[in-house]
Amino acid sequence: MSYFLPVPFTRVNDRWFTAISPESLDARVSHELIQGPFLSDYQLDFYRNFCVDLVAETVYDYPYPCITEKLLRPISCKRFFIVIGPAKVLHLLRSKGFDTFDDIIDGSYDDETDPKKRWLMLEEVIQKTVKMPLDDLKQALIANEHRLDRNLDLLKNLERTEIEKLRNV
Amino acid sequence: MTFNPPKMTERYKEYLYGRYNVLAHIRSQDFDYDPLKLEQLLSEKKKESFDSDDRVIIEHMDTDYYHPELKHGIFLRNMLNAFYKIDIPTFVLLLFTNHFGIKDEIDDILIDSNDEPTVIETFIYKPHILERYDDYPLQPERITMPAVCMMAGTPRSHRHALYDHMVKNHLTDLIAVSKGARR
């Protein structure tokens, strides 16, 4: 049996993005609101300046719904989120008991396994969400604080819950 | 051989080390570019026969490479090939992974369906799972922008495409973008 080692080897499966504007590579700047004290690496004080986190996950075109620290950050900071990542990530979160706020932000993009179609759905949901009046978004956050609290509690206890389940297998 | 420190949390480690006889504990990143390194490690752990609770833990929290002309992830295929090459039963493998649903892909590669590895699917691993979370009051009076997008870290083409979309659609006044917010 032989090993397979393509050269160059890359872990990123993103070949379908073929028309990236080159200036965008250099144009990214850190916004002035993204600074301030770190409560930890993952609970960030400056998240209080925003309602929604657009989570640009590690991978996008990928066969599995991988979740990293990027998505756990809005959960630990009690914010809404849109996941720019593989399909079925919201589905996975819901299977663990997390609320994905689909009544507030349309999460149907998560079911679309075709990366191109999912991208178009994501563009639409991002535009629709960030163009909502800021007061409406704030009110939605306030009205749903109990659900955000529940998500944080779930995250706090997730490790214990998972290990308990393994013990009972 | 030197290996990166495991990402497994202390609680998970305590549980798994209590339940199994752990022969080795490594990360996929340690050998994904060099399967011979895994082969060497497995050779050192090879025994005449393995007990039912013997395990080699491999943490699989890094992404695999999926080539359009290959049916399986390259890391996954190379890893199982190493077990077969050294002739270690695959039940000895404990894959600790954040790839939910990968068991089907493993089953597709396995030569003997009765010799199955243990697969634990989780996104609980260090350093992003904290020992303690603060309560984090909402403080809505501080909200001044609808959204944030943290694009720090490794450049990825989907992040560039996302930023491109924001610029072309004049969304950068509504979304604060970061390239360097993490310590």
Q: What ipTM does the predicted assembly reach?
A: 0.90
**pLDDT over 90 (residue A81):** yes
Q: Which has the higher per-residue pLDDT, A91 or A61?
A: A91
Is there a contact between B98 and A67 (Cβ–Cβ < 8 Å)? yes
| Cβ <8 Å between B62 and A11 | yes
Query: Residue A24: pLDDT above 90?
Result: no
For residue A30, the Cα-to-chain-centroid distance in whole angstroms is: 19
CA of residue B113 relative to chain centroid, distance: 24
pLDDT score of A45 = 83
Pick the closest to residue A109 from A93, A96, A125 (CA basis): A125
Residue A78 pLDDT: 95
Preceding amide of B5 cis, omega within 30:
no
Domain membership flag for residue A19:
no
Q: How many whole angstroms separate alpha carbon A26 and alpha carbon A130?
A: 24
What is the percentage of chain B residues whose pLDDT exceeds 70?
93
Residue A8 lies in a domain: no
Q: What's residue A14's pLDDT? A: 53
B167 CB-near residues (< 8 Å, 6+ apart): A21, A24, A27
Q: Tell me if the bond preceding B140 is cis, omega within 30° of 0.
A: no
Report yes or no: A151 at the B interface, CB cutoff 8 Å.
no
Task: Count interface pairs A-B at CB distance under 8 A.
Answer: 245
Contact B165, A153 (CB under 8 A): no
- Smallest Cβ–Cβ distance between A76 and the set B123, B124, B133 belongs to B133
Q: Work out the average pLDDT over B92-121.
A: 95
Residue B182 has pLDDT above 80, yes or no: no
Q: Which residues of A98-110 are buried (b: 16+ CB within 10 A; e: fewer)?
A: bbbbeebbebebb
Token digits of residue A133: 């009046």
Dihedral sign (CA B28, B34, B37, B39): positive
Structural domain of residue A81, as residue ranges?
33-167
For residue A90, the one-letter residue type is L
Report the pLDDT averaged over residues B130-153: 85
Burial class (CB in 10 A: 0-12, 13-18, 19+), A58: buried
Most B CBs within 10 Å, among A11, A43, A77, A141, to test the B interface: A11
How many residues are present in chain A? Answer: 169
Tokens found for residue B160: 């560039």
Whether residue A139 lies inside any domain: the answer is: yes
- What total of structural domains would you count in chain A? 1
Mean predicted lDDT score pLDDT of chain B: 89
Does A27 have pLDDT greater than 50?
Answer: no
User: Stretch A105-133: mean pLDDT, rounded?
Assistant: 96
Residue B97's φ and ψ, nearest 5 degrees, are -135, 150
Q: Would an 8 Å CB–CB cutoff place A138 in contact with chain B?
A: yes
Note whether B167 contacts A: Cβ–Cβ < 8 A: yes
Does residue A13 sit within a domain? no
Lowest mean pLDDT among A25-29, B103-107, B142-146: A25-29
| pLDDT of amino acid A43 | 74
Is the per-residue pLDDT at A113 higher than 50? yes
- Among residues A47, A44, A17, A31, which one has the least CA distance to residue B159? A17
- With a CB-CB cutoff of 8 Å, which residues 77-136 of chain B face chain A? 77-78, 81-82, 84-85, 98-102, 105, 120, 122-124, 127-130, 133-136
Asked if the structure places residue A11 within a domain, the reply is no
Considering the entire predicted model, what is its pTM? 0.89
Residues of B in contact with A1 (CB under 8 A): 81, 84-85
Q: What is the pLDDT of residue B131?
A: 66
pLDDT band at B6 (very low <50, low <70, confident <90, very high): confident
Query: Using 50, 70 and 90 to split pLDDT, how confident is the model at B27?
Result: very high
Task: Please give the average per-residue pLDDT across A53-72, as a whole number.
Answer: 90
Q: Is B181 on the interface with A (CB under 8 A)?
A: yes
Partners of A30 on chain B (C-beta within 8 Å) are 177-181
B26 band by pLDDT with thresholds 50, 70 and 90: very high
Give which of B1, B57, B55, B54 is closest to B28, Cα–Cα.
Answer: B57
pLDDT band for A61, please (50, 70, 90 cuts).
Answer: confident
Predicted confidence band of residue A7 (pLDDT cuts 50, 70, 90)? low
- Among chain B residues, the shortest Cα distance to A158 is held by B124
Does the residue A17 lie in any domain? no
Of chain A residues 25-54, which have a CB less than 8 A from chain B? 25, 27-31, 33-35, 38-44, 46-54
Q: Touching check for A113 and chain B: CB below 8 Å?
A: no
Asked if pLDDT for residue A23 goes beyond 60, the answer is: no
Residue A12 placed within a domain:
no
In a domain? residue A104: yes
